[in-house]
Structure 1
Amino acid sequence: MDVDFIHTVDLAAAVRDLAGRLDHRPAPDPYRFEIASTSPIVGDHQSVKIAVYAGATEVERFSVDITRRPGVIGDVEVLRPQPVVRVDDVAELPLFVAVSLAQQVADKLCAMYETHGAAAVPSSRFRDLVDLIVISTNASDLQALAATAALDREQRRRSITIPPELPLPSYAWTAGYRKQAASISTVPQNLRTAAAAIERLAVFAGPILDGKAAGVWNPVAKRWGPR
């Protein structure tokens, strides 16, 4: 599991803030969380490993990627996830502040086509295409207006223009996407090659990019239109 944590001050303050939040364990939750390790700071990014304990036994670890931003970009939603299995003596899950689905789509599309450094090195964030494919096969409440506005805003913020044909960012994506997609059970078998994924991306994201998307996305019919 991977979690992203955005902070508006600095990374050291973010780690302290996260550690403080981990100390608040709602009763009778049997699990406790501790920061196990932190990676070196690279630019405005740092990764933290969180250890999960049941009593004195470590049962899991996951990473939290911390990013410093002057403010949250785009809309956020307040959600209370429903547990997969309900346990009577475990408290209900807390409220989560989550980046909206429209903003996530915009962020992942821009990250795919953003280049880096003076040499304009293409992105290698293959997982972003995987996530977009998962969204395109599952999301039934993504509003075209919100997605179009978010993508326009994100392109301007990053000073990039996504190519309208939505190609693979580089040859490395053919193998990189295939490897990532194979590890995610929610990616359909017929969308586990880069060629198939890019074809689906054109149907899903092309209308957002050219401003022709309307209504909501229908993952079954694979088109934008009335609900």
Structure 2
Amino acid sequence: MSRSPQAVRASITDRLNRHATDHGQNIALVRRRFVIARFLTRVFDTDPDGWILKGGIGMMVRLPQARYSKDIDLLTATDLADSVDELRHTVRDHHLDHFRFEVGPATELSHDKGVTVTVTASLGGKTYDSFSLDVVGARRTLVGEIERRPIPRMVDTDDFPPETNVPLYPLADQIADKICALYEVHGASGAASGRFRYLVDLLLISMFLPIDLTSTVDGVERERRVRALRALPATVVSPGPAWATQWAKAARNSPLTADLHDFERAGYGRPLLRPHPRLAPILSADSTVESSA
């Protein structure tokens, strides 16, 4: 006989609290990760091919040790308005487990990139958590291959069916996005990028995931043109002066080893990636790079 939603809420909260304690993790982030996993399972159980998972959550599916994102990024190939409405009905009406999800009104993102909504998760008749969801349309054909991977299961419980597999934004396109974002300047003053976590992700990718050089080089060059970047460096170097002092905090709050926390000692002030050279060929093979001499 199935348990009441109230009993399930008490049980899963206890399990997540113990998981956070055992792994030295923040309980709020553990709860968020679990709720997002249940939301995505509901979405992709209903429509396995209608969405592609992007962003930090997609990175976490590939590499559970990667930085944790509090929000979801989904790519849709259909009309944005129709997609959000469909998503709203899917998570509200598809009762896969005891959670109930409500998708709020859509707000447009800047530069017509897509829309953002707030998703509220309820369990046992009370709000359990809420998070932001960005839905973006396909701006162009993807360069790399979409791959499917299972959402990591945090706790074993009969109250919730297993998480599903999800289609992930291609790694080649993800690397291209992150590399070009590092060297994109902003505003009239040409302010350098402050996306320290992007470099964390790139280093983790270079250490733990196979990289297809051909498709990734193609992706970087195309993304460079889309962002109207004049050129990229021939190797990964500091995007700006702030990195020498601000990198350490981002590195310490990541799975990167201690030898990569100090910018100069790790070789970041000079050609980067001496400890992890697998990303360097991506830039050196690109057709439009600056000389590193």
268, 273, 287: which one aligns with 1:200: 273
163, 169, 186: which one aligns with 2:233: 163
Q: CA deviation at 1:164?
A: 1.3
Structure in which a larger fraction of residues adopt helix = 2
Q: CA deviation at 1:19?
A: 2.3
SS of residue paired to 1:43: helix
Instruction: Provide the rounded CA distance (Å) in 1 between the counterparts of 2:93 and 2:73.
Output: 19
63, 84, 91: which one aligns with 1:22: 91
Q: CA deviation at 1:17?
A: 4.1
Letter in 1 for 2:182: M
Indicate conservation of the 8 Å contact 1:129/1:177, yes or no: no
Q: Does 1:116 align with 2:189?
A: no
> Where do 1:166-177 residues align within 5 Å?
166-177=236-247
Q: CA deviation at 1:10?
A: 6.4
Q: CA deviation at 1:96?
A: 1.5
Match of 1:224 in 2: none
Match of 1:51 in 2: 120
1:188-225 Cα distance to aligned partner (Å, 9 max, x none): 2222234437333772321111129xxxxxxxxxxxxx
Match of 1:70 in 2: 139
SS of residue paired to 2:233: coil
Indicate conservation of the 8 Å contact 2:143/2:215, yes or no: no
Q: CA deviation at 1:129?
A: 1.0
- Provide closer, same or farther for how the CA distance between residues 203 and 67 of structure 1 changes in structure 2, counting only shifts above 3 A: same
SS of residue paired to 1:132: helix
The total of aligned residue pairs comes to 209
Instruction: Provide the rounded CA distance (Å) in 2 between the counterparts of 1:38 and 1:177.
Output: 34
Give the fraction of aligned pairs with identical amino acids, expressed as a percent.
28
1:12-67 Cα distance to aligned partner (Å, 9 max, x none): 5554344234225353x222222367666422244433232222233333332333
Instruction: Provide the rounded CA distance (Å) in 2 between the counterparts of 1:151 and 1:166.
Output: 13
Match of 1:128 in 2: 198
1:122-181 Cα distance to aligned partner (Å, 9 max, x none): 222222112112222322x22333322322332233332211142221122334433333
Instruction: Provide the rounded CA distance (Å) in 2 between the counterparts of 1:115 and 1:37.
Output: 32
- Provide closer, same or farther for how the CA distance between residues 84 and 122 of structure 1 changes in structure 2, counting only shifts above 3 A: same
Instruction: List gaps (5 residues or longer) in structure 2.
Output: 1-69, 287-293
Indicate conservation of the 8 Å contact 2:149/2:165, yes or no: yes
SS of residue paired to 2:232: coil
Instruction: Provide the rounded CA distance (Å) in 1 between the counterparts of 2:204 and 2:94.
Output: 32
SS of residue paired to 2:182: helix
> Where do 1:32-111 residues align within 5 Å?
32-35=100-103, 41-45=109-113, 46-71=115-140, 73-75=142-144, 76-111=146-181
Indicate conservation of the 8 Å contact 2:235/2:284, yes or no: no
Match of 1:223 in 2: none
234, 255, 258: which one aligns with 1:189: 258
Indicate conservation of the 8 Å contact 2:235/2:283, yes or no: no
Match of 2:220 in 1: 151
- Provide closer, same or farther for how the CA distance between residues 118 and 182 of structure 1 changes in structure 2, counting only shifts above 3 A: same
- Provide closer, same or farther for how the CA distance between residues 107 and 179 of structure 1 changes in structure 2, counting only shifts above 3 A: same
Structure in which a larger fraction of residues adopt strand = 1
Q: CA deviation at 1:109?
A: 0.4
Larger radius of gyration: 2
Q: Does 1:2 align with 2:71?
A: yes
Match of 1:137 in 2: 207
